[in-house]
Amino acid sequence: MNIHSILAIYRFEMARTRRTLLQSVVAPVITTALYFVVFGAAIGSRIEEINGVPYGAFIVPGLIMLSLLTQSVTNAAFGIYFPKFTGTIYELLTAPVSMWEAVIGYVGAAATKSLMLAVIILITATFFVELRIAHPLVMVLFLVLTAVSFSLFGFIIGIWADNFEKLQLIPLLIITPLVFLGGTFYSVDMLPPAWQTLSLLNPVLYLVSGFRWSFYELADVSIFVSLGMVGLFLIVCMTAVWWIFKTGYHLRS
């Protein structure tokens, strides 16, 4: 494996983040802070606790996961789409760089950006609420697996998209609503039985539930099921990326 080629792609993508610091870091942090103010203060004054956890602290894992998912997908999608848009993708395809070296470079940079943002939001949350992390290693595991999985997913979207509208379609119209409906601001136990069953079809529920368990040992589904779902999604995305490079789907045309 050519480490130099991986580092070249990784450093290039990280440099792009520094050039767009306001858009990449500051804007998501301000948006999340507004969620704390609106939901934590306004709704939190009416819902004091959920399963013994103050409402403001209860929504923190969900808000971190919301930013982590959307930023992972967006960063990876834009990272690979712009070489296609400008035509420099052919330089990558003809360079002595293997498929997985390119993927590791792009996906690694996207995952790093989203993880940095998640840590910043976690620190920001401590200024609003008192947090308790019961299982820090599990929390880190969920952060890393989720960031890598959804960065791979964003990489796939960036290759599939042939215009800017498609590039934003899935993150805005699918992922964000799924996060909001995945127990970010409430516990599934608060829903009627029929809606509880329907919520189990939302894959994001397992991510939010498992991540919240690492904080407060509260979960809507088993922690092992949550980890299994993340692992399954990771395998599916890796398989899809392998197929894309094998067939040249949307790369050679």
- The domain segmentation of the chain, as residue ranges, is 3-247
Q: Which H or E run includes 105? A: helix 99-125
**Residue 208, phi-psi category: left (phi > 0), alpha (psi -120 to 50), beta (remainder):** alpha
Contacts of 6 by beta carbon, 8 Å cutoff, 6+ apart: 101, 104, 105, 108
- Point out which residues pair with 53 in neighbouring strands: 50
What is the DSSP-derived secondary structure letter of residue 189?
G
Contact present, 171 and 252 (Cβ < 8 Å): no
Give the C-alpha distances (Å, rounded to integers) separating 181 from 1, 53, 176, 196.
41, 20, 9, 11
| pTM for this predicted structure | 0.88
Q: Tens-digit pLDDT profile for the chain (253 aa)?
A: 778 888 888 888 888 777 766 666 777 778 777 777 777 666 666 677 888 888 888 888 988 998 899 889 988 998 888 887 777 777 776 777 777 888 899 999 999 999 998 998 898 888 878 888 999 999 999 999 999 999 999 999 988 888 877 888 888 888 888 888 888 888 888 888 888 888 888 888 999 999 999 999 988 899 999 999 999 999 999 999 889 888 877 766 5
Q: For the chain, what is the radius of gyration of the CA atoms? A: 19
pLDDT at 199: 85
pLDDT at 157: 92
Dig out the tokens for 203 from the structure.
């894959």
Helix (H, G, I), strand (E, B) or coil at 49: strand
Torsion sign over Cα 164, 157, 250, 16 = positive
Contact present, 70 and 114 (Cβ < 8 Å): no
Q: d(Cα 79, Cα 154) in Å, to the nearest integer?
A: 9
pLDDT at 41: 65
